[in-house]
Homo-oligomer: A and B are copies of this chain.
């Protein structure tokens, strides 16, 4: 990532939500020479003074100076606005996005769950919305200090009306080039909705059960009862995908199961949120898929059961 790459990036980036995910990707882009502008809240003071420190399995680095803001009105209009907030913060987007994104700019949604691009397109109809699925394992250790533990790949796909599959455009390719220049592996998907359902095959069973049963992935896979339940839940996700006209073959489910058995014991991101008393992304990961399938006449009863259990736990956790 040296000077030779700096010229590649002529797009101005905004990062909404400079946490474990937004902070990591934004820092990588800046390090590769992109012009990046970070919106912060609680860490604003610290980061505007001391910058960002990325502790990474691929090599640590420090950005002593970053463009930090605590007010979106002070930020320049950007070509690419990266939404890296948790979906539970999306009620803020109608205030944040319109002043920030250039006409015919891009909003890149690096969030979990289903249907988030659709919501964002309702807010900024003058821009292209791109969905990004992150396979990243990172934590914010303290203000301005992010620890990248593993993975990092992003799957990018264009949002189109009704989530119709779309060819890869030059615009998405440009963004992919910037990320790849910054050392972030990119995969391009022509069917964003399929990619989102595929990610839910993992997220719904493991995120949900990890919170409900207070368990790590290895415990869920070792116990025969949860091992069966995980697979049944994956099949319900596939039924949901089918209700959207997307096919997730059984071989994909088997691959996810085998992959998880081989993973190191893992505390899911939803479990980390729960343990830290943060709101859970129940609607994006459970509610939206349920409603989308329901609208097509398909019930997903086991996912529905967990959805209501999680809403109860989330409510009690956030009050306490």
Q: Residues of A at under 8 Å CB distance from B?
A: 209, 212-213, 215, 219-220, 223, 225-226, 228-229, 232, 301-302, 304-309, 311-313, 315-316
* Number of copies of chain A assembled together: 2
Q: List 20 A-B contacts (CB under 8 A).
A: A209-B309, A212-B212, A212-B213, A213-B313, A219-B316, A220-B312, A223-B315, A223-B316, A225-B309, A225-B311, A226-B308, A226-B312, A228-B308, A229-B305, A232-B304, A232-B305, A302-B302, A302-B304, A302-B305, A305-B306
A169 to chain B, nearest CB (A): 41
The complex places the Cα of A307 from the Cα of B301 at a distance, in Å, of 14
The answer to whether A305 and B308 touch across the interface, beta carbons within 8 angstroms, is no
Q: Cβ of A312: which chain B residues have Cβ within 8 Å of it?
A: 213, 215, 220, 223, 225-226, 229
A219 to chain B, nearest CB (A): 8
User: Which of A232, A308, A311, A315 has most chain B Cβ within 10 Å?
Assistant: A308
The answer to whether A212 and B302 touch across the interface, beta carbons within 8 angstroms, is no
The complex places the Cα of A305 from the Cα of B302 at a distance, in Å, of 6
A42 to chain B, nearest CB (A): 29
